[in-house]
Amino acid sequence: MLVLGIESSCDETAAAVLKNGTLLLSNVIASQIQIHSKYGGVVPELASRHHLEAILPVVEEALQQAGIELTQVDGIAVTQGPGLVGCLLVGMSFAKALSFVTGIPVVGVDHIAGHLLSVFLSEKKPPFPFIALVASGGHSSIYHAADFRTFRHLGRTRDDAAGEAFDKVAKLLGLGYPGGPLIAEQASRGKNAIAFPRSWLEPESLDFSFSGIKTAVVNHVKSNPEVSLPDVCASFQEAVVDVLVEKTIRAARNTDITSVVLAGGVAANRRLREHMTNRCNEEGIAVFMPAPEFCTDNAAMIAMAGYHKLQIATPPDYEMDVYSRSQAATLPS
Ligand code: KG4
Ligand code: ZN
């Protein structure tokens, strides 16, 4: 079965072809980073316009690299939400139109479900059930995954997402956008020398809060203008990673689950991967993570989630609409 995945929720226009839910035949990503970096963040209106320009060539390239014709595709999976509505509409309208003219079934896929299943693009695949941390620019949440389509929310951020904290701190430090890789690069040359606060919230809480640390970094830099930038970045990164790792381990312990999955753009962070691996080893927990290129937004993960949804799919719903936020505790996978 060949699934064409389409992703356009934020600033990446992406398409991928996945065979039988296992073999990735192509994975094309047109990034808009250069367009948005001068504004220090994604400008929604510009992003939608660039998706419009990129979507057709990106899909054509994905089919070409996979060595297939559109008529050979068995199902189309498109990101339905959460994300920027104008951006999502480009992918959704395109996917519906493709489906309508070809008769190929189309399914809408939740972007977070895509992140949760991105680990199945790797060689080392987790058994169900597992606990997953999804840390990205828009989300920092912990999930219980029972199977390919059943995910339960255990904790979420109450303010900024982890990636958003990286992006905002990088902007305040004048490093640029997106902040995650830029902070990580500075941090690799610095020491964890400043004790920035960790926001643990209530003792048993699996929620996150990252807005306080952002203020702490700004205040520290203001009152210590000579401070080493790499040290600030290393200490900030350590504080964020510490909370992400300990809360994920707590979720695994509370549920007696011994497999942990790391996903979302922040999961590309080397220090997070290393610290999570060390702590999971100490706790006797097996850890699984996608390769860094499958942590950040891509359409291979959407094709993966779509493949599993298509197994139980009903006729295409051409009335389906995009959504900006996930509200349900259980994801509409
Ligand atoms: O999953 P993603 O590509 O898009 C969303 O769904 O939001 O995540 C993007 C986020 C950005 O905030 C970016 O700064 C962060 O992931 N990120 C990183 C790293 N690479 C990307 N954060 C920390 N370290 C990284 N190496
Ligand atoms: Zn994402």
**pTM exceeds 0.75, yes or no:** yes
Q: Give the contacts of 53 (CB within 8 A, at least 6 positions apart).
A: none
Q: What is the pLDDT of residues 72-96, one digit of tens each?
A: 999 999 999 999 999 999 999 999 9
Instruction: Indicate if the pLDDT at residue 309 is higher than 80.
Output: yes
pLDDT band at 332 (very low <50, low <70, confident <90, very high): low
Ligand located closest to 264 CA: 1
| Residue-level pLDDT at 37 | 83
Q: How far is the CA of 263 from the centre of ligand 2 (A)?
A: 9
Question: Mean pLDDT over all residues of the chain?
Answer: 95
**Which residues are near ligand 2, the ion (C-beta closer than 5 Å)?**
136, 297
Which DSSP string corresponds to 167-233?
A: HHHHHHTT--SSHHHHHHHHHTTS---S-PPP---STT---B--HHHHHHHHHHHHH-TT--HHHHH
Q: How far is the CA of 136 from the centre of ligand 1 (A)?
A: 5
Ligand located closest to 241 CA: 1
| Residue-level pLDDT at 329 | 47
| Residue-level pLDDT at 328 | 52
Name the residue with higher pLDDT: 326 or 67: 67
Q: What is the pLDDT of residues 125-159, one digit of tens each?
A: 999 999 999 999 999 999 999 999 999 999 999 99
C-alpha–C-alpha distance, residues 143 and 85, integer Å: 24
| Ligand 1 binding pocket includes 82 (Cβ within 6 Å) | no
* C-beta separation of 18 from 307 below 8 A: yes
Q: How far is the CA of 297 from the centre of ligand 2 (A)?
A: 5
| Ligand 1 binding pocket includes 138 (Cβ within 6 Å) | yes
> Nearest C-alpha to atom 1 of ligand 1 is from which residue?
265
C-alpha–C-alpha distance, residues 115 and 218, integer Å: 31
In ligand 1, the atom with minimum distance to the C-alpha of 139 is 7
Q: How far is the CA of 18 from the centre of ligand 2 (A)?
A: 19
